[in-house]
Structures are given as structure tokens and as C-alpha cells.
Structure 1
Amino acid sequence: MSKHIAMWSGPRNISTAMMRSFENRSDTCVVDEPFYGYYLAQTGLDHPMAAEVMADQANDWQTVASQMAADFDEPVCYQKMMTHHMLDDVDFHWCKDFTHCFLIRDPRYVINSYIKKMPTVNNDDIGIIKQHQLYKQISDISGQQIPIIDSKDVLLNPRGMLKALCQQLQIDFEENMLNWPKGRRDSDGVWASHWYHNVENSTGFAKFSEPDLQLNEQHLLLAEENMPYYHDLYSKRLQPVDD
């Protein structure tokens, strides 16, 4: 029986780099944003390549949940989950026995990156408030002490943070999680050509540098509104393991 790992993240948050890291393990397959088609079908949002996404994936959450809960050929199945894709009708008991983790990022950095790809941004788009809600909800359903990792911590100390995370997930750390071959993957979602340019050119986690924030007043107010939810999750975040 495969070990199902669900990594719950918002957009623009090294989530694809984390997926690359896990896919480069010797025992792991990955699934890229399996609920995206459902999310677009339900909301009708005008996202890049929306028609292609909905044609490529099941558009009802029950079918996707059954697919994700099925057994996989590899010992570990890492599932990259976007919190904003999970609408209010989803019942999370389907993933009660999954191993969960949450990936967070400063709202200012998320918004700054998001507006480079999309013309507008709001709370639903960045999913931080939803992420805070899901952390409580999934913790209650699963009964787990779910680890939280911050993207800045990962970029500052990839080995230490991945070691700490692997300990929490009860899997062995593998050195090849730190680097991966450049290029696109068959496992990437059909939307990769719009969103994944930086990751496709990467061979490992980028060194952290403070972003040059280009935020207007509306963006700053949005970041301020999300900050308490981020800070609450941040206060519970995992610390790196020393070598």
C-alpha cells in the first residue's frame, strides 16, 4: 500500500520545486494539482489554459478524491494540493489516513509573484485564509500533528528543512531530493507552459533573496488582511535539523 503524502500549499510558493524534490526520490511518484479542473469547472474562472485543464482532469471532486486515495505503484505518492482549489462542498474524510503537511509563504511574497502572472488578485486566489481553515479542519479529521514548513526556511536551508520534514513524514531523507534534472516532466500539469518557466530551468532550490516588492495600496491591504492567518501558521512551523 502506497504512503499518500498531501502537501497543502497556496500558489506561487515553491510548491512545484518541492514536487521536483520529492519526484527525484528513488521511491516516489507525484501528482500535480489534481483538483484544478474541478476548481475551474465549479468557479468558471478565466484562468490561462482553463479549457485544457478541465479536459485533462476529472471535474468533480469525488472522482478526483477516489483517484488520489487509490493505491499507486510506488511506495510513496506525493500529491501537490492547492488550498484555494478546495471549495466548500469538499468532504475531507477521503484523505483522513493520508500523511499531511502544509507549505506556507509570506502573503506579500505570494501576491508579488502572483500579479506577474495574473491581472488581478484577491483572498480566494492566494488561498492563505483557506489554508488556515484547512489546517484546522484536516488536523481534526486526521488526528495528526501536521508539520508546517515555510518556503523561506526551505530556501535558506534545504537540507536541514527536508531532513526535518522527512522525519515528520516518517520517510528516509534522500540526498537527491536537493537537486533534479532541468526540464519539464510528464507528471507536470498541462498548465506548466504558463506557470513553470523558472522551475523548468532549475536544478535545485534557489538561494533565498528578498523579493523586490511591487505592490500597490490594494495589494498591501490584501497582504495585511492575510498576515494574521499566515503568522498563526508560521508560529507552528517546523525547524531545520542540524547536520
Structure 2
Amino acid sequence: MEVIHSWSCPRSLSTALMYSFAQRDDIEVLDEPLNASFLKATGADRLYRDEIFASMEIDGHKVVKDIIYGPGKKKYRFCKNLAKHRILGLPSELMSKGKHFILIRNPVHILPSFGKVIPLSFLDVGLADLVSIYSDLCQMGTPPPVIDADDLQRNPEVSFLYYEYCNKKTCYKKKKKQENLIILCKKMHILCIIHLFSSLYA
């Protein structure tokens, strides 16, 4: 199973993107699988804290090894991650395995909306964590594609045509195979995309 990671800050249209991936029959999705371990490690106060602990695995090592990279029935697994959830001490394979891309959005559009949910803080927005993830992936020799969420919403086709979603060593060999593998759909009154991966790994 190929695991695809999306890393973003809150209110970056990542949920809509996750739902669009979920429309594929060969993709299963995980919605913020590291949320419980983040809440446990940071002590962040949330109204839904008890519900999260009751419904999700708290041990970050188990989440990475058994849930994110555990066995599955479909060809792909899409993980919607918030950058702040990558806490210290998680297994290194969280970043060394799988495919990763970063979804960014102008803070002008993030802060007013997110501030209505919880009091704003540097930790909860997670911009520094997003920069750290980008830097770490670059140092590993796997610089991630960076997608602007607002560009994606306005013009999803152009945004994902830029996105070469394959291994660095083979992407040029497969470039001709990476044709327009995008299906546009309307979901919850915003434009979402479904990116088809099947020919990239043929």
C-alpha cells in the first residue's frame, strides 16, 4: 500500500481535499491520525478531548507503525495531517516512508476562521511546524511539492499539473505518463479535486 501524506495548518481546505480523495475506490483516508497523541503530549485543552482519547490510538509509535503504515485493503492510503501533530519522539519512518506534500494557505484566511474555534496560539496554528517539515524533507533528499490551497480552489487543474507526484529518481522517466489525471467534482459547494495515481506506479 502506498501512503500519501498531506501536511497543512488548520483551515487550509485540507478536509475538502481529503473528501475528494475518498471518492476513489482504491483510496482509504485517515483524518488526523496523530491527533490523540498530540493532545496527550501537549496537554492542549479541547472540549472534545475525552472523545478523541476514547476513539483514537494515543500512542504515537503505534499510530505510525500500525495505523498509518499498517496493512490495508486498498492500493493507497491518504493521511490528512496537521503539521503541529508531528510531535517529537515519533518514529523516523513517519517522514522517511510514504509520499508527502505540503498544503499552504495565506494566514489572512486561516486566522479569522480558526480563531472562532479556539483561542489562537503559535502552537495551535502550526506554521513553524510546517516550515520544519518542509526543511526536514528537503534535507532527506525528498523535497515535497507545495500546493497553495487558494490556487487549488480557484484552479485545481493548473495546481496539480505542477505537482509531479513520484520519486525524484524516476519522475523524469515517468513524466510522459503523468498526463492530466485529474477529475473535478463539486462537493459542499467548493471545487475539489481527485488526483488519480494508478499510472504513476504502473
The bucket for the TM-score relative to the shorter chain is 0.7 to 0.9
Gaps of 5+ in 1: 181-201, 207-243
Alignment CA distance shift 1:135-1:108 (3 Å): same
Structure 2 residue aligned with 1:168, among 135, 151, 165? 165
Unaligned regions of 5+ residues in structure 2, if any?
172-177, 193-202
1:96 alignment counterpart: 96
User: After superposition, what is the alpha-carbon deviation per residue over 1:164-211, rounded to whole angstroms, capped at 9, x for unaligned?
Assistant: 43x425877241x5334xxxxxxxxxxxxxxxxxxxxx15428xxxxx
**CA-atom RMSD in angstroms:** 2.0
3-state SS in 2 of match to 1:111: helix
Q: Deviations over 1:126-155 (max 9, x none)?
A: 0011100111113323x2131000111101
Considering fraction of residues, name the structure with more strand.
Answer: 2
Structure 2 matches for 1:126-205, cutoff 5 A?
A: 126-141=125-140, 143-165=141-163, 167-169=164-166, 173-175=181-183, 177-180=184-187, 202-205=188-191
Q: Which runs of 4+ in 1 moved over 3 A?
A: 162-165, 169-172
Equivalent residues of 1:25, 1:174 under 8 A apart: no
8 Å CA contact 2:153–2:190 kept in 1: the answer is no
Other structure's SS at 2:191 match: coil
Letter of the 2:154 counterpart: L
More helix by share: 1
Contact kept? 2:64, 2:91, Cα under 8 Å: no
CA contact (8 A) 1:9 1:103 kept: yes
Q: Secondary structure at the match of 1:34?
A: coil
Does the CA contact (< 8 Å) of 2:36 and 2:58 recur in 1?
A: yes
TM-score, scaled to structure 1: 0.68
Task: Provide the secondary structure at the position in 2 that maps to 1:103.
Answer: strand
Q: Distance in 1 between matches of 2:3 and 2:190?
A: 24
Change (3 A) 1:72 1:203: farther
Provide the rounded CA distance (Å) in 1 between the counterparts of 2:104 and 2:29.
19
Equivalent residue runs for 1:12-31 within 5 Å: 12-31=11-30
TM-score, normalised with respect to structure 2: 0.81
How many angstroms apart in 2 are the aligned matches of 1:140 and 1:173?
A: 29
The one-letter code of the counterpart of 1:161 is: S
Pair 1:53-2:52 in alignment: yes
Q: Give the number of equivalent residue pairs.
A: 180
Cα-to-partner distance string for 1:63-89 (whole Å, 9 max, x where unaligned): 100121123211111100111112222
Contact residue 157 and residue 182 of structure 2 kept, 8 A? no
Correspondence for 2:43: 44
